[in-house]
Amino acid sequence: MTLKNIFFDFDGTLGDSKELGNFATQEAFAHFDLTVPSFEQIAYYMGIPIEQSFIEMADRELLAEELQALLNEFRWLYKESEKNYLTLFPNAMEMLESLKTKGYKLFVVSSKHSESLLRNLDTLGIALFFDDVVGSDMVEKYKPNPESLDLLIKKYELVRDESIMIGDAIFDSQMGKAASVKTCSVTWGSHSEENLRAEKSDFIAHDNQELLKIIISN
């Protein structure tokens, strides 16, 4: 069946937020005298919500109030630094414009809170392309659980065989498979091409021009 519904991850797929995420994470951990995670650790966990990834990266067990303070510090640092770090990946704007013009339904499924996600989409000038978004605060189960995709599929009565999940992390591919939609891994984000290929996504894209060709030809 022809693809009609496109689900995008945001960080590492549409928005280049690696430097921003690294900065805010390391500064937040240092602020609370926690061992500062490496760039590699941060990149690996970038595909899942910070409510989960910060627990994984902390060098000790965090009390609920400690975790919340850490999350709040991260979010403050992230918001204050967005203008200096957050950018679109090359040709992302053109790719989205082309898909929208051709009549595809476009969605964003992200591991960040919807408030931050909507702000980021607006800052980058791409919010108008999307029919809807799902942030981590809108579901009970995070990536790679398929709840986010299932929510949109049910809400808009989408056909799974006509849908594809696009992301830069193995969690995106795992979520897409769990939701029984097609999957495409992109190689310009957090996870290596070797790790992405190990997930056996339906497609691999190396830039947004190649991604556009994959979508319109399937």
**Residues 6, 107: contact at Cβ < 8 Å?**
yes
pLDDT tens for each residue of 21-39? 889 999 999 999 999 999 8
pLDDT at 78 over 90: no
AA letter at 146: P
Q: Report pLDDT for 17.
A: 85
| 118 vs 18, higher pLDDT | 118
Q: Are residues 29 and 134 in the same domain?
A: no
Number of Cβ within a 10 Å radius of residue 71: 16
Q: Are residues 49 and 108 in the same domain?
A: no
pLDDT-derived band at 85, boundaries 50, 70, 90: confident
Q: Are residues 160 and 193 in the same domain?
A: yes
Q: How many domains does the chain have?
A: 2
Residue 110 half-sphere exposure, CB side, CA atoms within 13 Å?
A: 24
Cβ-proximal residues to 108 (8 Å cutoff; 6+ apart), any chain: 7, 8, 9, 10, 14, 117, 121, 130, 133, 134
pLDDT tens for each residue of 96-152? 999 999 999 999 999 888 998 999 999 999 999 999 999 989 999 888 999 999 999
Q: Are residues 114 and 203 in the same domain?
A: yes
Q: Are residues 80 and 60 in the same domain?
A: yes
φ, ψ of residue 82 in degrees (nearest 5):
-55, -45
pLDDT-derived band at 2, boundaries 50, 70, 90: very high
Question: Which CATH number does the domain housing residue 168 bear?
Answer: 3.40.50.1000
Domain end among 27, 60, 85 = 85
Between CA 133 and CA 122 the distance in angstroms is 12
pLDDT-derived band at 94, boundaries 50, 70, 90: very high
Q: Report pLDDT for 51.
A: 87
Q: Token pair 């602020």 is at which residue?
A: 31
Question: Which CATH number does the domain housing residue 47 bear?
Answer: 1.10.150
Q: Are residues 136 and 110 in the same domain?
A: yes
Q: Report pLDDT for 156.
A: 97
Q: Report pLDDT for 84.
A: 84
Q: Are residues 94 and 31 in the same domain?
A: no
Q: Are residues 138 and 167 in the same domain?
A: yes
Domain end among 85, 105, 124 = 85
Q: Are residues 98 and 170 in the same domain?
A: yes
Domain end among 85, 115, 141 = 85
Q: Are residues 172 and 211 in the same domain?
A: yes
Structural domain containing residue 166: 5-16+87-216
Q: Token pair 């975790």 is at which residue?
A: 67
pTM: 0.85
Q: Report pLDDT for 21.
A: 87
Q: Are residues 114 and 169 in the same domain?
A: yes
Q: Are residues 67 and 136 in the same domain?
A: no
Q: Report pLDDT for 1.
A: 66
pLDDT tens for each residue of 151-190? 999 999 999 999 999 999 999 999 999 999 999 999 998 8
